[in-house]
């Protein structure tokens, strides 16, 4: 029988633990958000963070810029937040408008406040094998959810994503847990064979019901990090649920899986004195 790895129970435990931790801090955690423009995805993400933060007792400050603002305007705000001791973490929504200097912005954020891990310094630490600091929330959520179900993740793992936001940091987290990791992507020619030969499959292809049962075996354990909309406008991941449910050993659902934890883990990362 297929085990569906829902995140509700673990999320509730994490919220309880985090509330207790925040009570014992010497200062109230504060997340500073920088949003450029009025993109619906950014506004939705911001709304979700505010809701979670309010429940935990974390302060959220939002600075908004117009899309025709200049890089220097954003750099000035980042400098101010870097120097503000009451700010625990800084989150700037990406991707930036094409007119902005991405490299300057990423280099400007204080690595000690870079909760979304966009600073080259924090990225370099991860790729050097140091996963003790800030980690992108989605890969961290994937690993923590799987471990909450007792999976040690020390077998053969395939990661279907090669981005710096998901695939590469996830590979480093898995290597830290003694997994043997293969990084694949949508253009990988032998993807089905790789997946069938793996103990764990972590997929983040974009959430378009890409993967049917032909990619897996009855022993496959799958973590779906994607989120998108199907032809009916409903949330979906990479897995075709009807194909894998009852066939594979275990999988994380969309919605109700990894995505439910990302806001919480990002906020957890700034809860320190």
What confidence score (pLDDT) does residue 232 get? Answer: 87
Rounded CA gap, 183 and 156, in Å? 11
Overall residue count recorded for the chain in this entry: 273
| pLDDT at 224 (0 to 100) | 98
pLDDT digits (tens, 9 = 90+) for 171-212: 999 999 999 999 999 899 999 999 999 999 999 998 888 899
pTM of structure: 0.94
Q: Which of the residue ranges 29-33, 76-80, 81-85, 126-130 would you say has the lowest mean pLDDT?
A: 126-130
Question: How much is the pLDDT for 23?
Answer: 94
Asked whether the predicted pLDDT for residue 158 surpasses 90, the reply is yes
Mean pLDDT of the chain: 96
Task: Point out which residues pair with 250 in neighbouring strands.
Answer: 3, 221
Domain boundaries, the chain: 26-113, 135-258
Residue 109, classed as helix, strand or coil, is coil
Q: Which CATH number fits domain 26-113: 3.40.50.10860, 3.40.50.970, 1.20.1070.10, 3.40.309.10?
A: 3.40.50.10860
Is 48 strand, coil or helix? helix
> Structure tokens of 111?
């690595």
35: confidence class by pLDDT, cuts 50, 70, 90: very high
What mean pLDDT comes out for the span 37-62?
95
For residue 222, give the nearest of 168, 137, 151 by alpha carbon.
151
User: What's the pLDDT score for residue 229?
Assistant: 87
pLDDT above 90 for 231: no
**pLDDT > 90? residue 113:** yes
- What pLDDT, on the 0 to 100 scale, is given for residue 209? 84
Report pLDDT digits (tens) over 63-102.
Answer: 999 999 999 999 999 999 999 999 999 999 999 999 999 9
Of the candidates 190, 201, 195, which has an alpha carbon nearest to the alpha carbon of residue 215? 195
Fill in the DSSP letter of residue 113.
G
Give the single-character DSSP code of 96.
P
CATH number, domain 135-258, options 3.40.50.12280, 3.90.209.20, 3.20.20.60, 3.40.50.720: 3.40.50.720
HEC readout, 106-119: HHHCCHHHCCCCCC
Parallel, antiparallel or unpaired: strands 228-229 and 235-236:
antiparallel
Would you put residue 37 in left (φ > 0), alpha (ψ -120 to 50) or beta?
left
**What's the rounded Cα separation, in Å, for the pair 110 and 103?**
14
pLDDT tens digits for range 250-266: 999 999 999 999 999 99
In the predicted structure, residue 230 carries a pLDDT above the cut 90: no
Check: CB of residue 14 under 8 Å from CB of residue 261.
Answer: yes
**What is the radius of gyration, based on Cα positions, of the chain?**
19
Does residue 155 surpass a pLDDT of 90?
A: yes
In whole angstroms, what is the distance from residue 239 CA to residue 252 CA?
9
Q: What percent of the chain has pLDDT over 70?
A: 100
Look at residue 138 and tell me whether its pLDDT is greater than 90. Answer: yes
Strand positions, DSSP E, the chain: 3-4, 30-36, 59-65, 89-92, 156-160, 180-184, 200-203, 221-224, 228-229, 235-236, 250-251
Q: Calculate mean pLDDT across residues 145-160.
A: 98
- Residue 30: pLDDT band (50, 70, 90) is very high
3-class SS of residue 53: helix
What's the pLDDT score for residue 183?
Answer: 98
107/165 Cα distance (integer angstroms) = 16
pLDDT of amino acid 186: 86
| Cβ atoms of 228 and 222 closer than 8 Å | no
Q: Which of 181, 167, 69, 94 is nearest to 126 (CA)?
A: 167
- What mean pLDDT do residues 113-121 have? 96
Same CATH fold assignment for domains 26-113 and 135-258: yes
């Amino acid at each position: 029988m297929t085990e569906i790895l829902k995140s509700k129970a673990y999320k509730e435990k994490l919220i309880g633990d985090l509330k207790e931790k925040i009570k014992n801090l010497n200062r109230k955690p504060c997340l500073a958000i920088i949003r450029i423009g009025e993109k619906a995805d950014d506004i939705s993400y911001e709304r979700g963070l505010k809701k979670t933060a309010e429940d935990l007792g974390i302060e959220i400050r939002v600075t908004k810029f117009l899309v025709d603002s200049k890089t220097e305007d954003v750099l000035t705000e980042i400098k101010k937040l870097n120097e503000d001791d009451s700010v625990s973490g800084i989150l700037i929504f990406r991707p930036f408008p094409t007119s902005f200097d991405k490299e300057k912005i990423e280099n400007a954020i204080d690595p000690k406040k870079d909760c979304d891990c966009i600073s080259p310094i924090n990225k370099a630490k991860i790729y050097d094998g140091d996963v003790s600091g800030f980690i992108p929330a989605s890969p961290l959520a994937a690993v923590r959810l799987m471990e909450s179900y007792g999976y040690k993740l020390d077998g053969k793992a395939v990661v279907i994503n090669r981005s710096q936001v998901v695939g590469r940091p996830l590979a480093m987290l898995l290597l830290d847990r003694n997994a043997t990791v293969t990084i694949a992507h949508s253009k990988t020619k032998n993807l089905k064979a790789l997946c069938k030969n793996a103990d764990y499959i972590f997929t983040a292809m974009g959430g378009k019901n890409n993967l049917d049962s032909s990619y897996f075996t009855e022993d496959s354990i799958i973590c779906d990090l994607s989120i998108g909309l199907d032809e009916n406008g409903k949330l979906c991941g990479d897995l075709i649920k009807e194909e894998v449910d009852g066939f594979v050993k275990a999988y994380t659902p969309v919605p109700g899986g990894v995505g439910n934890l990302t806001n919480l883990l990002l906020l957890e990362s700034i809860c320190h004195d």
